[in-house]
């Protein structure tokens, strides 16, 4: 399972998803979900441009009855979700005919997590792609074991801020993994923030947290903490790449801003490669 999250609105999450779908589909049917609402019909309603999400026969989606009726694809219902969302009743459907579709996520992440687990358990799809929320890796982590892609559109105005976010995310994703904390490690359940850091015993050297989404420290605070602490995670979320689209910024300028340690995670203008 791969989740796609982004730096801010318009960072290219859904564009990345639409270009990744045909490549991932070569291995078999894809289950494609969203934490929010994504697709052409949603974009028209909002009055803003958005990439069209296209499914092919055999793919799985979570959407509403109303959006399914407006889709150029057709679906068989595999699972009807109980209750109703603000946009109507949700169902998990398998495409009988390819076409564009609007994805709708459940209002509760636990429902989406259970649905993804069922899809994987039943073998209904070879791969799962999730269009995640903007700058909300913590929400995506609630879906279970996954890898993730981070998208960012860099320009002169946001270069410094985006580069700092990429460096911080790469540092978090690089924390060493130790499923079973070694003897002497201080196991922390829940968040690791400034209050938890200040309350640590003076002789603490190794700290074990559930995963990197439990770190609630500013980049400078995390860097200082890592100078005196060995922070390890019990569960890993693998960062596949940071998909970067540049506007009025050169690649050398981007690399310099991001720094050598995080530059290996960058994938420049991946849509050109995919096309």
Among 50-59, 79-88, 225-234, 239-248, where is mean pLDDT lowest?
A: 79-88
* pLDDT of 197 higher than 60: yes
Is the separation of the CB atoms in 29 and 123 below 8 Å?
no
Mean predicted confidence (pLDDT) in 126-150: 81
- Spans of all domains in the chain: 2-163+237-274, 178-233
| β-pairing verdict for 90-97 and 206-209 | unpaired
Instruction: Please give the pLDDT value at position 136.
Output: 65
Length of the chain counted residue by residue: 275
Using CA atoms, how far apart are residues 168 and 170, in angstroms rounded to an integer?
A: 5
Give the residue, 107 or 229, on which the prediction is more confident: 229
Confidence of residue 275 (pLDDT cuts 50, 70, 90): very low
Three-state SS for 41-97 is: HHHHHHCCCCCCEEECCCCEEEEEHHHHHCCCCEEEEEEECCCCECCECEEEEEEEE
Question: CA 45, 47, 245, 214 torsion: positive or negative?
Answer: negative
Average pLDDT over residues 206-231: 94
- What b/e string do you get for 144-159 counting C-beta neighbours within 10 Å, with b at 16 or more? bebebbbbbbbeeebb
What pLDDT digit, counting tens, does each position of 162-195 carry?
999 999 999 999 999 999 999 999 999 999 999 9
pLDDT at position 21, please?
A: 93
Which pLDDT tens digit goes with each residue over 37-50?
877 655 454 455 56
Cα separation, 128 vs 109, whole angstroms: 15
CA separation for the pair 81, 91 (Å, rounded): 5
Residues 6+ apart with CB under 8 A from 183: none
Kindly tell me if the per-residue pLDDT of 212 is higher than 90. yes
Q: Which CATH architecture has domain 2-163+237-274?
A: 3-Layer(aba) Sandwich (3.40)
The torsion angles phi and psi of 115, rounded to 5 degrees, stand at -65, -40
Q: What angle do CA 264, 174, 260 make, to 5 degrees?
A: 30
Dihedral angle sign, alpha carbons of residues 29, 101, 104, 213: positive
Q: What is the pLDDT of residues 58-71, one digit of tens each?
A: 999 999 998 998 89
Q: What pTM was computed for the model? A: 0.86
The pLDDT value recorded for residue 50 is: 67
End-to-end Cα separation, the chain, in angstroms: 23
pLDDT mean over 97-121: 90
Tell me what the pLDDT averaged over the chain comes to.
89
Q: How confident is the model at residue 81 (pLDDT cuts 50, 70, 90)?
A: confident
CA–CA distances in Å: residue 152 to residues 37, 85, 258: 19, 30, 12
pLDDT confidence of residue 134: 56
């Amino acid at each position: 399972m791969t989740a796609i999250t982004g730096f801010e609105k318009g960072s290219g999450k859904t564009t990345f998803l639409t270009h990744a779908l045909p490549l991932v589909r070569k291995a078999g049917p894809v289950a494609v979900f969203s934490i929010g609402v994504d697709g052409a019909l949603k974009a028209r309603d909002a009055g803003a441009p958005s990439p069209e999400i296209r499914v092919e026969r055999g793919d799985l989606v979570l959407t509403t009855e109303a959006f399914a009726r407006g889709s150029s694809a057709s679906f068989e219902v595999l699972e009807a979700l109980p209750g109703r969302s603000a946009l109507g009743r949700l169902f998990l459907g398998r495409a009988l005919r390819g076409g564009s579709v609007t994805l709708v996520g459940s209002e509760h992440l636990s429902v989406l997590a259970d649905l993804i687990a069922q899809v994987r358990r039943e073998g209904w799809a070879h791969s799962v792609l999730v269009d995640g929320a903007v700058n909300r890796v913590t929400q995506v982590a609630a879906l279970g074991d996954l890898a993730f892609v981070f998208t960012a559109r860099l320009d002169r105005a946001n270069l410094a801020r985006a580069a700092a976010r990429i460096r911080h995310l790469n540092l978090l994703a690089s924390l060493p993994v130790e499923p079973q904390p070694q003897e002497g490690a201080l196991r922390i359940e829940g968040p690791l923030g400034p209050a938890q850091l200040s309350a640590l015993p003076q002789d603490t050297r190794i700290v074990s947290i559930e995963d990197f989404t439990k770190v609630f420290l500013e980049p400078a605070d995390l860097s200082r903490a890592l100078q005196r602490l060995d922070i390890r995670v019990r569960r890993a979320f693998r960062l596949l790449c940071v998909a970067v689209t540049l506007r009025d910024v050169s690649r050398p300028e981007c690399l310099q801003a991001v720094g050598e340690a995080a530059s290996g995670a960058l994938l420049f203008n991946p849509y050109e490669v995919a096309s």
